[in-house]
Amino acid sequence: MTAQPRAHLRADARRNRAQIITTATRAFVDNGPDVPLEEIARLAGVGIGTLYRNFPDREALILAVVQTSMGVMLTKAREARAEHEHAWDALARTLSTSRELSLTLRVQRLFSPATVAALSADPTIRQIRNELIKVIDDLVQAAQREGSMRPDVDTGDVTHLFSLLMLPSTHRTPSEIAEMSYDRAREIIFDGLRARPGTPLPGRPLSATDIYPD
Amino acid sequence: MTAQPRAHLRADARRNRAQIITTATRAFVDNGPDVPLEEIARLAGVGIGTLYRNFPDREALILAVVQTSMGVMLTKAREARAEHEHAWDALARTLSTSRELSLTLRVQRLFSPATVAALSADPTIRQIRNELIKVIDDLVQAAQREGSMRPDVDTGDVTHLFSLLMLPSTHRTPSEIAEMSYDRAREIIFDGLRARPGTPLPGRPLSATDIYPD
Amino acid sequence: MTAQPRAHLRADARRNRAQIITTATRAFVDNGPDVPLEEIARLAGVGIGTLYRNFPDREALILAVVQTSMGVMLTKAREARAEHEHAWDALARTLSTSRELSLTLRVQRLFSPATVAALSADPTIRQIRNELIKVIDDLVQAAQREGSMRPDVDTGDVTHLFSLLMLPSTHRTPSEIAEMSYDRAREIIFDGLRARPGTPLPGRPLSATDIYPD
Amino acid sequence: MTAQPRAHLRADARRNRAQIITTATRAFVDNGPDVPLEEIARLAGVGIGTLYRNFPDREALILAVVQTSMGVMLTKAREARAEHEHAWDALARTLSTSRELSLTLRVQRLFSPATVAALSADPTIRQIRNELIKVIDDLVQAAQREGSMRPDVDTGDVTHLFSLLMLPSTHRTPSEIAEMSYDRAREIIFDGLRARPGTPLPGRPLSATDIYPD
DNA sequence: TATGAATGAGCATTCATTCAT
DNA sequence: GATGAATGAATGCTCATTCAT
């Protein structure tokens, strides 16, 4: 589910490409969206020219990173749906992510509105996003039919909450604490989504189209 | 509660200073953390020289912006505590913020890890943060005594969730929707924090010191 | 007739601007169209930032250089027309140029087709060029009425020949020789333009519009 | 008359080499002296590595292009001398060139002073140039003996004028017009060189050695 | 004190050249 | 020999910061 690696690439070149994406993902999360590309190249162990041969400019690299990251998320969601009998469990599983994976997911919160707008125009991104929304939409509806999710929310509410969870943790807390606080926040939020007598929510259920009007 | 405005400043100079901070706050939120200082100066209607006279470098300006923003938050929390009989309501009120205010709060999520680390070293920031934590700590304990908040969380869990809510909304959704999704997410999260039979949380209650080990 | 120096500029800034244009002109002629802008800045005795403050990119600098150069040429042609009774003499005088001036004129032959196309879109350039063509057109017609210029040519032929003369001399000949060969070539070409029994020319007289179809 | 094609080269390799030179000539004329070598390789249908195997660096390629171009010119001049009874006609014929040929000739006007200086140091270039000068020198002297060329010019004047004619046409005029203006300019210049009462020229006749002092 | 011009360090990007396949 | 991937030096350009007016 990676970003369209041009089909016939020499083996070493393909390795380089993957290596650059991995390194860039970590670098963006660690140092913010403005890491010098030269630093990414250096961390990836390639020359700056190699980075540019694979990604003609900074935006192309960001695009590949985000495509990969969203692809991973989509895969994760589909696996979760396939492996769990109850939709509720599948949703929870989609976000119960390893540290490794969370790195990939958090990348999506890093970029400026302008960059995000540019990314949203990319056909691959749009397609992955739409498929992801479809999966989550399925799960949300199923969970509500199962009676496990409160009926006064819709997919837009759920994706919004999911996207909040993907926040990079700002404070340099030790990683054990960071992971624990992520896990606990996720469970608290899921408790908030659970079907049971609760506060009526303001406004109206937000659909996926409310949040991503395209 | 602004950032240490040097005591005796000519009225117009003080106005300049405040104007720059306000403009910078909006510029950071709108255009990301890398807005050129010259653009901020231009938007504030002053020369770049004037900006630099007030804030010796970029970090100083960011510092002032964040100090102001956190100061507003602290004031808000104290007001909420003073005006509400029940701690639970005070907590909810602290986050039920006007659009205007949310601008101020979201600024805190904008900067790179390195910048945030630098900010965390500033004594004024630390003091405001500690006082804010103290207020929230009070409210959390009171709410738990009142029986409205689940007993298996601690202040660190709560501040973490609060900080998630301060996310700038990434998707260029119409502001009415953005506001609604913020309000709904906040309520869902509060429902998750409510005291009632729910899922046991993983790990252990996180205290403020777990999250901000200082 | 320089390139629109923004009206109110501090005296030193205006000096800088002029100095950069002069230096750039010489640098383009001496080192070709790709001189590093940093070298121009260095030769002009300013920082690279100053150059960029005055000319936002390389194209803007080239534009100013060419505008200035064409403005000088236009001024020269008008002076020649005003000071000479016979149109023929005015035409000759327009091209009998000091070394200093020839530097300015030769700049026009330096740039790539793409750059020239971009320059041709500039309103100031177009206006200067049109006025220059008008002056030469006047002189050509007057010279033909006077009987000094052969009747089977038109303004386009003349401007084409003029533009040939503006060629930078390729071979590093001593400047005395270079100047002499320029003067002699000019006179030979003018002899070819003189009205007297000569070879019939192929094709048809070329008007200014043939050469600059806009 | 190509540039020293190493004697024993496999047929396909020789074809490659010729193909690259042809392509490079057109690319230089069309896109200016800075066309990336990779683009030339692409246009020639070979890999960049093959280009480099044939021409160890950019200068070597330019050298080969110019050698070829000057060789063509020399051949042309010799043919003209052989085929015309009158020297005057031979000179005229040397420059009455097909569009195809003019491409080859114009290449000589493209490169920066520094590059030209480097080219001038190449023994093959020098030899071709000297032979070319010798042919033109012969023709000029013969034409003057024949009484068709004015006696107050020398070979240096003539080569200078010839070199002016080799200008790439800057303005994107339709090729029919460009060709016509070239032909007409050539005839006007030849009229200026014709022996008949005319203006006395400034300075003194310029010999080939004046212009190419070597 | 306010202004905005000057400076130059830093990063993005391109492309000549080398070298593994 | 041919190919095209990798390298890194060179250059364009931006912007934080300083300083003359």
CATH topology of domain D6-56: Arc Repressor Mutant, subunit A (1.10.10)
pLDDT tens, position by position, C73-96: 899 899 999 999 999 999 999 887
Per-residue pLDDT, averaged over A78-93, amounts to 94
Q: What is the mean pLDDT of chain D?
A: 88
Residue A66 CB: number of other CB atoms within 10 A? 26
Which 3 state secondary structure label does DSSP give A149? strand
Per-residue pLDDT, averaged over D167-174, amounts to 67
- All residues of chain D having their beta carbon less than 8 Å from the beta carbon of residue C188 are 153, 157, 161, 189, 192-193, 201
User: What pLDDT is attached to residue C56?
Assistant: 95
- Rounded to whole angstroms, the Cα distance separating B171 from B178 reads 9
Task: Give, in degrees to the nearest 5, the angle at Cα D154 between D152 and D157.
Answer: 100
Residue owning tokens 């009926």: A151
Task: Give, in degrees to the nearest 5, the angle at Cα B165 between B179 and B140.
Answer: 120
User: What pLDDT is attached to residue B23?
Assistant: 95
Of B112, B168, B183, the CB nearest to A31: B112
Alpha helices in chain C (DSSP H): 11-31, 37-44, 48-54, 58-83, 87-95, 99-106, 113-120, 123-146, 155-165, 175-193, 208-211
pLDDT tens, position by position, D69-120: 999 889 989 999 999 999 999 999 888 765 556 776 677 778 888 888 888 8
CA of A10, C1' of E21: distance in angstroms: 9
Q: Do A181 and B212 touch (CB under 8 A)?
A: no
User: What pLDDT is attached to residue C99?
Assistant: 58
Which CATH superfamily hosts domain D67-209?
Tetracycline Repressor, domain 2 (1.10.357.10)
Tell me which chains share at least 3 CB pairs under 8 Å with chain B. A
Burial (CB count <10 Å: 0-12, 13-18, 19+), residue A145: exposed
DSSP string, A99-167: HHHHHHHHGGG-S-HHHHHHHHT-HHHHHHHHHHHHHHHHHHHHHHHHT-B-TT--HHHHHHHHHHHTP
pLDDT band at B171 (very low <50, low <70, confident <90, very high): low
pLDDT band at B143 (very low <50, low <70, confident <90, very high): very high
User: What pLDDT is attached to residue B2?
Assistant: 47
Closest chain B residue by Cα to residue A112? B32
User: What pLDDT is attached to residue C106?
Assistant: 75
- The strand pairing partners of A194, in sequence order, are A149
pLDDT at B76 over 80: yes
pLDDT at A1 over 60: no
User: What pLDDT is attached to residue B118?
Assistant: 87
pLDDT tens, position by position, D21-76: 999 999 998 888 999 999 999 999 999 999 999 999 999 999 999 999 999 889 98
CATH of C11-196, one of 1.10.357.10, 1.10.4160.10, 3.40.710.10, 3.40.50.300: 1.10.357.10
User: What pLDDT is attached to residue A186?
Assistant: 94
- The strand pairing partners of D149, in sequence order, are D194
Contact C17, C5 (CB under 8 A): yes
Q: Which are the contacts of C3, defined by CB distance < 8 A and separation ≥ 6? A: C21, C63, C64, C67, C68, C71, C124
- Rounded to whole angstroms, the Cα distance separating C214 from C120 reads 8
User: What pLDDT is attached to residue B40?
Assistant: 97
- Rounded to whole angstroms, the Cα distance separating D195 from D191 reads 9
User: What pLDDT is attached to residue D116?
Assistant: 85
Integer Rg of chain B from CA:
19
Closest chain C residue by Cα to residue D202? C184
CATH 1.10.357.10 in chain D: give the residue spans: 67-209
- Spell out the CATH class of B65-211: mainly alpha
pLDDT at B106 over 60: yes
User: What pLDDT is attached to residue C2?
Assistant: 46
Closest chain D residue by Cα to residue C155? D181
B4 vs C203: which has the higher pLDDT = C203
pLDDT at C14 over 60: yes
* Least-confidence region, from A133-147, B200-214, C142-156, D134-148: B200-214
User: What pLDDT is attached to residue A67?
Assistant: 93
pLDDT band at D2 (very low <50, low <70, confident <90, very high): very low
Per-residue pLDDT, averaged over D175-182, amounts to 86
pLDDT band at B153 (very low <50, low <70, confident <90, very high): very high
Q: What is the CATH number of domain A11-197?
A: 1.10.357.10
pLDDT tens, position by position, C164-186: 888 766 666 777 888 899 899 99
Token pair for D140: 């000029």
pLDDT band at C1 (very low <50, low <70, confident <90, very high): very low
- Rounded to whole angstroms, the Cα distance separating C211 from C205 reads 11
Q: Name the phi and psi angles at A3, rounded to 5.
A: -75, 115
Give the bases of strand F that a protein CB approaches within 7 Å: 1-21
Q: Do C157 and D185 touch (CB under 8 A)?
A: yes
Token pair for C124: 């100031």
Per-residue pLDDT, averaged over A26-52, amounts to 94
Token pair for C179: 């100047």
